[in-house]
Amino acid sequence: MQRRPFHKVLIANRGEIALRIMRTVRRLGHGVVAVYSDADQDAPHVRLADQAVRIGAPPPAQSYLNMAAIIDAAKATGADAVHPGYGFLAENEDFAIACKEAGLVFIGPSPEAIKAMGNKAGAKAIMQGAGVPCVPGYQGEDQGDEAMMREARRIGFPVMIKAVAGGGGRGMRLVTDADTFAGLLRSARSEAAAAFGDGTVILEKAIANPRHIEIQVFGDVNGNAVHLGERDCSVQRRHQKLIEEAPSPAVGPELRARMGAVAVQAVKALGYEGAGTLEFLLDGDGQFYFMEMNTRLQVEHPVTEALTGLDLVEWQLRVAAGEPLPLRQEEIRFSGHAIEVRLCSEDAEHDFMPQSGRMALWHMPSSIRVEHALDSGAEIPPYYDSMIAKLISHGATREEARARLIVGLAQAAALGVATNQAFLMSCLRHPAFAAGKATTAFIGAHRDELRAPAVDAEAIALAALLLSISHPLAHPVRSGRSLSAAFATPLRFQIGGEVRECELLRERDRFYRVTHDGADHRFEIAALEGDTLRVRHADITESARFVRDGDWLFVQYRSQTLALRDLTLAAPQSTAAAGGDGKVRAALNGRVVAVLVKPGDRVAVGQPVVTLEAMKMEHVHIAGIAGTVTTVEVADGDQVATGRIVVEIAG
């Protein structure tokens, strides 16, 4: 047995990932070093580390991929081990080699294993050689457009285009027909090159409505290997996981044993050390097909920890130090059911568009496990993944875990930046998910049912009341009449893209009347403490969370989050329909990765004109009218802010 002791660990990642790893590293008695970009200099993972080293140099999006700066940071602080987190560096053989050459213990698999399994094409070839069933496809060296089209036709549409490097759904596109293949191939290559530095792709047959099942594995330096059961990651948007659970509702003991045996066999054949995950597609007939191996710990590892009672980061540290696996296969026990959701800063009602900005109010529940790295007032930068928290529940049964997670989500407050909180609750409550029937087609098949319900008149009236009483110059909320009670106050505000007008009259003893769209809504304020309002309406008492941020008011009420902009004193503004004035505006802060038109081009409604990249995803902007392009205001590589005009079209 070759011991590789270490005493101080540099964590080469950010946010909740760094905090999660830090917690275990400290518990085992090691020192902790953090690294940070210019965008993260005040982040919690920086404040809580023993030492933190700036590795930032514009652009911040690339700072955490600066391998030389990370190695230098380890040397400068006396760190003798590096944990790469769950991201790109965890699957980068060059980084693992650089750590080894610098005399640092790399807390992950060997460079050889990363190289063998980190490339999807190579991994499939290895698995096919070992007799593991794989998805039919093409992983050849000829990446020419004609060769790729020929192979796609041979496989038969629909096909999946996948980047050979990396993961997280980047560089992945579903192609349903030959007409759209060329455009989606270009987009997948571009996104893969931006995210992983490699635009090479493979093709796979798209299996209809499969389950996405992954097996957690561990190996050690002595050739021992175990699996820790499966996770079901079928609920996805943009080919990125949104909800994960263990065990899978579709996997019984016999299938679990077969899939686990295949995974362990692969780990032993590779001589694999550390944590890894083998990912499979499971069809409706119970047949499973290998897709890829992630040579790292996964974002969703907490559900396995909940089931087994084990700390998987501790296992990583012990294996990296040369110790044997803590348990044999027969000693691993599973208990109950666990579900995890990914809370993301994105607009679920508008194609899950990533959002950045200031999180004015942030409060996470204590009733369930939450992994996050935010505080109230924190800025969410546009450079990184949109996931801002993971919420994990565990119960004796699946239904108990599901119910606890719904309650935990309802208790969470994330106000100031749009999130998918309400969408996650809709998913958990949907009958198909509740019955354990969700496949990778779940969100697409039930998209309309999962949308947030329309904001009702009562919620708008309550929001108007809060808009008034939260104003810095508002009269204090107290019992008794005042002179203002005799006069109604006009209010004008924007909510959900619409301008609304109403009147508010303060009556007596904390009673208010809001008149909106010809209807009266009466409220009695039971309590107003900090960010929470207790109010009575129609003999029902309930609570609302809120925060005022300048002209903006954010309200969480009945599992919905409302954003209001106070226009009461603002001059009226003309409002053109989105893109309907011929001006194509950036829908988010991002970097221009493709300008698809030039002045003088004729365009049709809906034609792509510019592609932006933000939070590691590409977002195509389209023409709102048909006409001629008059000006193009951006070039490849430009960083643009939300609302900036990028293209102008004359009808």
User: What are the catalytic residues?
Assistant: 296
Contacts of 282 (CB under 8 A, 6+ apart): 210, 211, 212, 213, 248, 250, 251, 288
Please give the Cα distance from 465 to 538 (Å, whole number).
16
Pairing of strands 31-36, 8-11: parallel
Helices vs strands, H then E, count in the chain? 17, 39
Q: Are 168 and 616 in contact (CB under 8 A)?
A: yes
Containing 388, the helix (H) or strand (E) segment is strand 387-395
Task: For residues 309 and 29, give the distance between their C-alpha atoms in angstroms, rounded to a whole number.
Answer: 20
Among residues 441, 376, 439, the alpha carbon closest in space to that of 174 is found at 441
Structure tokens at 342: 């990914």
Q: How far apart are CA 561 and CA 542, in angstroms?
A: 15
Parallel, antiparallel or unpaired: strands 369-372 and 387-395: antiparallel
Assigned token pair, 108: 């992950």
Angle ∠(155,209,171) on CA atoms, nearest 5: 60
As a whole number of Å, the CA-based R_g of the chain is 26
Residue type present at position 128: Q
**Best CA proximity match to 444, nearest among 621, 234, 607:** 234
Place of tokens 């020192």: 31
The CA distance from 391 to 398, in Å, is 15
Count how many Cα atoms sit within 13 Å of the Cα of residue 291 in the half-sphere of its side chain. 27
Cβ-based neighbours of 538, under 8 Å, separated by 6 or more: none
Q: What secondary structure does DSSP assign to 446-469, as a single string?
A: THHHHSPPPPPHHHHHHHHHHHHH
408: number of CA atoms within 13 Å, CB side? 27
Give which of 109, 83, 347, 155 is closest to 238, Cα–Cα. 347
Closest by CA to 507, choosing from 527, 490, 531, 524, is: 524
Q: Is 240 helix (H, G, I), strand (E, B) or coil?
A: strand
Q: Residue 313 CB: number of other CB atoms within 10 A?
A: 22
Cα 219 to Cα 167, 388, 433, 443, distances in angstroms: 22, 30, 33, 35
Cα 147 to Cα 151, 153, 183, 285, 609: the distances in Å are 6, 10, 15, 32, 27
Q: What DSSP state is assigned to residue 36?
A: E
Q: Please name which of 425, 201, 188, 227 lies closest in space to residue 307, comparing C-alpha atoms.
A: 227
What span, in angstroms and rounded, lies between the C-alpha atoms of 23 and 375? 18
Omega into 210 within 30° of 0, i.e. cis? no
Q: What are phi and psi of 225, to 5 degrees?
A: -150, 145
H/E run at residue 640: strand 639-640
Q: Which residues contact 452 (CB under 8 A, 6 or more apart)?
A: 348, 349, 422, 423, 426, 560
